[in-house]
Every structure is written in C-alpha cells, then in structure tokens.
Amino acid sequence: ERKRMEEQFLQAQKMEAVGRLAGGVAHDFNNLLTVINGYSELLLGSLPPGAPARADLEEIFNAGKRAASLTRQLLAFSRKQVTQPASIDLNVLVSSLRKMLERLVGEDVKIAFAPGADLDLVMADPGQIEQVIVNLVVNARDAMPRGGKIAIETGNALLDEAYAALHPDMNPGAHVRLTVADAGVGMTDEVKAHLFEPFFTTKEKGKGTGLGLSTVHGIVKHAGGAIEVESEVGRGTRFRIYIPRAGSGGQVVAPVPPVRNSKGTETILVAEDQETVRRLAKVVLEAAGYRVLMAADGTEALRLAESHEGPIHLLLTDMVMRSMSGAELAKLVRREHPETRVLFISGYAERGLEEIGAAAAFLQKPFTLEGLRGKVREVLDAPMGGLS
C-alpha cells in the first residue's frame, strides 16, 4: 500500500513539473504563433488566387495551425488553459461535431451516435469537451486501421456510495456519461498502466504525440469528473467519461453563430506588451474600419484612456502584462470610461485567472484574424449588462 502511494505521489509530481514547464513554454509559443499565423493569413488574403507563392504560404499557415493545436493540448493537460464553463447538453455538442468527426475518421470508419434520453446538462468548457471527444475518436480510429465502427453514447448515470468507494477518483452523485467505444486492437495491461501519462505513445514517430489522453484526463479532472477504461487485446476499447450534472439555474449556451458583418467604426484601445502581436491587431482592426489606440502596457493604456476625449468602445487587453494585469487595467479604464467593453486575450492562464467566467469575453491566442474581428464585433454588439 505504501509503495503504491509513493508511486502515485511521484507520478503526481512528475505531471506537476511537466505541466508547469508546458504552461511557461506555451505562453511564449502562443505569442509567436499569433504572429506567424496572423501574418501568413494577412499575406494569403492579399495574394491573388493563382499566385505562385500561395502554395508555400499555405504550408506555413497549416503548419502554424498544427502547432497551435499542439500548444492547446499542452495547456489543457497542464490545466493552464483559460476555461469558460457553461451548461452544455452533450447530445447537442456531439451532434454539432458529427460532420467534422466523420471527416476526421475517413470513409472506412463509421460513427454511430446513440443520444441518451432526457440527458442532464453538465457544467464544463464546451471547447474543452470538444477536445475530449476529438481525442477519443482519433484514438479509436487509429485502433482500427482496417476500418470499423465507433460507437458514441450518452446517458445519465447516478453513481452511488458503493461505486465511488471502489473508484477512488469518483464522487457519488448525478453524472452524465459519455462513452466512446471501438472494436480495434485493444490494449495490453502494460499500455493501460501508462495510458494517461504525457508523451506516452505506442504510435510510430510522427503519428502520435502521447498528449491526447493526458489532455483528456486534465480536462475531465478540471470538470470534476472521472474516466473509466475497459480494453481487451484484439477486441476493442471502451472509454467512459463521467461529468457531474450541472446545478440547476445555469444558463444554457447554444453554440454562437459566427458574426457575419465583422466591420465597424468604433474606437478600440489595444493593450498588449508584445509589439508584433500589437501591430497585427492594429493592422487587422484598422482594415476592418475601427479606430485603434495602442498601448504597450497598462500604464500607457491608462494614460491614453485619461487623455482621450471621445468614447472608448472597447478595451482589447492581454491578461498577463508586466506592469498590471488585464483585469486591473479594465477596472481602472472603466472608472474613466464607463462605456468601455472589455475583451481579454491571452496565451494561457496565470494562477487565479484560469476561470474568467462566462460573462467576461475572452479570446485565446493564437487567434485567427476572422476570430479576432468576429469576437470584437460580438462584444461590441452584446448587451452591456452581461459584460461587467
């Protein structure tokens, strides 16, 4: 028993260290990727369709997008990702992902979805739960190289005391269960023992990163849930994810339809300490018609806010800056300009800022240009009350 505890402790320490490293690296990476992806996108937009440089640029842009999804995985498993929890209906979420999943698994693999009836809502970050589903489905596909069927199921599950006692990481109570099952190669006990470790992979070099399931683990833990794995070599694997039912009274969020008209004439104050990211935001927003004021940190942003005569419709601020945090800055700017709405951007969450709540507007770095324009418009058009 003591030996087992020791091992668990060492494992937890290892995860903690890797997580800290990942969070630190991802902050800088996300700034760099914002610049690489943003400027590639700008250039792509300015080239005519048949231009010879287009294919090369597209390669850069696609590699940048893959890198961005890798840092997202790192952040999720190290739990340094900013989360915006909301009440979600897993049936709606899976249905809306279905097309994308089918494209992902290819023609030889079929996806069967059996939505549970009267499914309870869960409180979690919708983007993260998407990541969980995508990771599980990709693994299921890889386990069936000659094709087959992936079964996705949802259902309500009441875990009782006895069950929780047998499964130390589960809490008794009402949960929603998400099952992803395949009839693939299955796993040996050895693989099962290391499954959730970061960088553990049995896939050939270049195919697996070993971050998929450690990400899933981080996300599910963060949502207060647990994971169960059943697998048999040669027969297949079944992952069951349990997420606690959301308390009543939560607001259900439907996926937000993309904003179509993302132009405007309002005044935006940009506070961002990375010069290249700041310049990118300026170029993009000015091209969309906005008037842009630029500040390299909180102090400068405050000075600008004080001396600016007209209204400042939006403060676009990095969450993590040298002199003061984005949240502090927002508070001070709104003393001077109560009309100002706030949109936070960040590459990762500092301690205490992991959860900014559904009411605050947030954009994850690296953002796409359309993502930036769309989010800015969305925040400017939202009713004022919800964004304090």
User: Residue 140 CB, nearest distance to ligand ADP (Å)?
Assistant: 5
Q: What angle do CA 152, 76, 346 make, to 5 degrees?
A: 130
Q: Which of 203, 235, 263, 303 binds ligand ADP (CB under 6 A)?
A: 203
Please, are residues 61 and 47 in contact by the beta-carbon 8 Å criterion? no
Binding mask 277-316 for ligand ADP (x = CB under 6 A): ----------------------------------------
User: Residue 219 CB, nearest distance to ligand ADP (Å)?
Assistant: 13
Q: Give the pairing type, strands 122-124 and 86-88.
A: antiparallel
User: Per CB under 6 A, does 329 bind ligand ADP?
Assistant: no
Q: Which of 187, 295, 360, 379 binds ligand ADP (CB under 6 A)?
A: 187
- Counting runs of H as helices and runs of E as strands, what totals does the chain give? 11, 12
Residue given tokens 């794995």 in the structure block: 229
Judged by beta carbon, residue 184 or residue 326, the one nearer ligand ADP is: 184
User: Per CB under 6 A, does 70 bind ligand ADP?
Assistant: no
Residue given tokens 């900014």 in the structure block: 356
Sequence-distant contacts of 255-263: CB under 8 A, at least 24 apart:
255/92, 255/96, 255/126, 256/378, 258/374, 259/373, 259/374, 259/377, 259/378, 259/381, 261/377, 262/288, 262/370, 262/373, 262/374, 262/376, 262/377, 263/288, 263/289, 263/373, 263/377
Encode 195-225 in three state secondary structure. Answer: CCCCCCCCCCCCCCCCCHHHHHHHHHHHCCC
User: Per CB under 6 A, does 201 bind ligand ADP?
Assistant: yes
Encode 29-62 in three state secondary structure. Answer: HHHHHHHHHHHHHHHHHHCCCCCCCHHHHHHHHH
User: Per CB under 6 A, does 105 bind ligand ADP?
Assistant: no
User: Per CB under 6 A, does 104 bind ligand ADP?
Assistant: no
Q: Which of 115, 116, 210, 250 binds ligand ADP (CB under 6 A)?
A: 210
User: Per CB under 6 A, does 18 bind ligand ADP?
Assistant: no
User: Residue 208 CB, nearest distance to ligand ADP (Å)?
Assistant: 3
Binding window for ligand ADP (CB under 6 A); candidates: 21-29, 39-47, 182-190, 271-279: 182-190
User: Residue 107 CB, nearest distance to ligand ADP (Å)?
Assistant: 19
Judged by beta carbon, residue 87 or residue 215, the one nearer ligand ADP is: 215
Binding window for ligand ADP (CB under 6 A); candidates: 56-64, 180-188, 296-304, 311-319: 180-188
Rounded Cα distance, 326 and 126, in Å:
24
Binding mask 140-159 for ligand ADP (x = CB under 6 A): x--x----------------
Footprint of ligand ADP (CB under 6 A) = 135, 139-140, 143, 182, 184-187, 191, 195, 200-203, 208-210, 212-214, 237
